[in-house]
């Protein structure tokens, strides 16, 4: 028997869908994702914590779920909505359906939504916090919203990564400052023949330096980068001390550490088809993205008193927003998108090359 699923924000804007499931109500920033594949990677990406995803693709989960596609050990979204979810997948790789996986972890989901209407609304008005549930009326869901964690000021990246960290035998390994790092990043490092170690984001700069790492990746993660004041301070101290590569949230943190500003985008970039022009690469890259904030880069490159020349490394060709910075004199750079291609094309994999090249000429050696 179908039940009404209700999606509502504080202003009273409502969307309805249908579901056969009963689930606990949830709250989160409502966004839309334009990817047509990669649903398992998206749902398990820690960067989507505290968000409710609207999938614009017509059918979600046709090919089911394979654990080899996990970006973390479980779904990390606060909810998933779409036109329809496939309960009986068809693929030789499928180990279970996406719907049974979401139910296992009590993540609410529902089909039957008019995703065109939702997407148009978010593009016109912007993303905002929504409540999502069955069996509750509008007033009850609004009460949940009043107690919810807003995406503005959200510092959940501090706890989005691993709960335990092994700091044995760290010398000459690549460190990952873990703000919710994706498994795909680890896979790339291993495919290049390197070993990696995860670093707790609360670790001080001096302690990170004492690990004698070959280089450090500042990972992706959820929430508002401006709330991670201590992490930004730590990265500022590390610039010029060892090779640094910032990815997504890591890009925003590196930029803040250099004195640049970060602002909230109206509805963000979420999908696997975003064209980006990267300095030194002739052709545009088609990239996978998930971010609601952007770095405000000045019109021209500038000289930092401590770090050297800072240039705009990459630009989004849809809206001209910043997609990366480079500080080559300090062996540091970053990209806003996901170069590890999980999900997405493999266009961005070449963006790891400068980092691996820097490992042979570490700053300070």
For residue 329, how many C-alpha atoms fall within 13 Å in the half-sphere facing its CB? 10
285 vs 201: CA distance, rounded Å: 30
202 and 326 housed in the same domain: yes
Question: Alpha carbon 64 to chain centroid distance?
Answer: 22
| Confidence at residue 20, expressed as pLDDT on a 0 to 100 scale | 87
| Confidence at residue 345, expressed as pLDDT on a 0 to 100 scale | 83
Structural domain count, the chain = 2
Beta strands in the chain (DSSP E): 3-9, 14-19, 26-33, 51-55, 59-60, 79-81, 84-85, 109-110, 129-134, 174-177, 196-199, 215-218, 244-247, 261-278, 285-296, 302-304, 308-316, 322-327, 332-335
CATH number at 36 reads 3.50.30.20
196 is catalytic: no
Buried/exposed 342-355: b ≥16 CB within 10 Å, e otherwise: bbbeebbeebbebb
Q: Return averaged pLDDT per consecutive 10 residues of the chain, 365 residues in all.
A: 89 92 92 94 95 94 94 95 94 94 95 96 95 88 90 94 82 94 94 93 96 96 97 98 97 98 96 94 94 95 95 97 98 96 87 93 47
| Confidence at residue 364, expressed as pLDDT on a 0 to 100 scale | 42
| Confidence at residue 363, expressed as pLDDT on a 0 to 100 scale | 47
| String of DSSP letters for 277-322 | EETT-SSPEEEEEEEEEEEE--SS-EEETTTEEEEEEEEETTT--E
338 is catalytic: yes
Q: One of 41, 71, 323, 340 is an active-site residue; which one?
A: 340
Question: Alpha carbon 216 to chain centroid distance?
Answer: 18
pTM of the model: 0.94
340 is catalytic: yes
| Confidence at residue 137, expressed as pLDDT on a 0 to 100 scale | 86
Domain extent for 225? 156-361
310 vs 298: CA distance, rounded Å: 10
249 and 171 housed in the same domain: yes
Q: Let me know if residue 313 belongs to a domain.
A: yes
Q: One of 248, 251, 269, 323 is an active-site residue; which one?
A: 248
Q: One of 251, 270, 274, 338 is an active-site residue; which one?
A: 338
Sign of CA dihedral 256, 258, 259, 264: negative
310 and 238 housed in the same domain: yes
Q: Are 126 and 266 in contact (CB under 8 A)?
A: yes
Of 92, 112, 146, the domain-final residue: 146
243 vs 356: CA distance, rounded Å: 9
| Confidence at residue 362, expressed as pLDDT on a 0 to 100 scale | 53
């Amino acid at each position: 028997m179908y039940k009404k699923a209700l999606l509502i924000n504080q202003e009273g804007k409502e969307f309805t869908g249908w579901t056969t499931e009963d689930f606990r109500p949830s709250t989160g920033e409502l966004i839309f994702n334009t990817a047509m594949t990669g649903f398992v990677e998206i749902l398990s990406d820690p960067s989507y914590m505290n968000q409710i995803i609207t999938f614009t693709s017509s059918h979600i989960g046709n090919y089911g779920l394979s654990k080899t596609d996990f970006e973390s050990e479980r779904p990390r979204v606060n909810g998933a909505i779409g036109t329809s979810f496939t309960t009986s997948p068809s693929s030789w790789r499928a180990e279970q359906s996406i719907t049974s996986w979401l139910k296992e972890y009590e993540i609410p989901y529902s089909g039957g939504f008019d995703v065109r209407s939702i997407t148009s609304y978010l593009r016109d008005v912007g993303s905002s916090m929504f409540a999502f549930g069955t069996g509750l009326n509008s007033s009850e869901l609004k009460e949940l919203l009043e107690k919810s964690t807003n995406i503005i000021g959200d510092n959940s990246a501090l706890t989005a990564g691993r709960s335990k960290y092994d700091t044995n035998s760290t010398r000459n390994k690549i460190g990952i400052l873990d703000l919710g790092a994706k498994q795909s990043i680890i896979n790339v490092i291993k495919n290049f023949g390197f070993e990696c170690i995860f670093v707790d984001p609360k670790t001080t700069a001096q302690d990170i330096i004492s690990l004698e790492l070959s280089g450090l990746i500042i990972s992706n993660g959820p929430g508002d980068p401006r709330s991670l004041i201590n992490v930004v301070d730590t990265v500022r101290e590390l610039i010029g001390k060892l090779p640094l590569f910032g990815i997504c949230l890591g890009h925003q943190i590196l930029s803040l550490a250099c004195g640049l500003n970060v602002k909230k985008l109206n509805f963000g970039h979420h999908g696997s088809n975003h064209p980006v022009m990267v300095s030194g690469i002739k052709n545009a890259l088609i990239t996978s993205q998930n971010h609601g904030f952007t770095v405000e880069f000045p019109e021209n490159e500038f000289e930092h008193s401590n770090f050297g020349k800072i240039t705009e490394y990459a630009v989004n060709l849809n809206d001209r927003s910043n997609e990366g910075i480079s500080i080559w004199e300090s062996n540091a750079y970053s990209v806003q998108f996901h170069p590890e291609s999980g999900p997405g094309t493999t266009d961005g994999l070449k963006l790891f090359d400068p980092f691996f090249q820097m490992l042979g000429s570490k700053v300070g050696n």
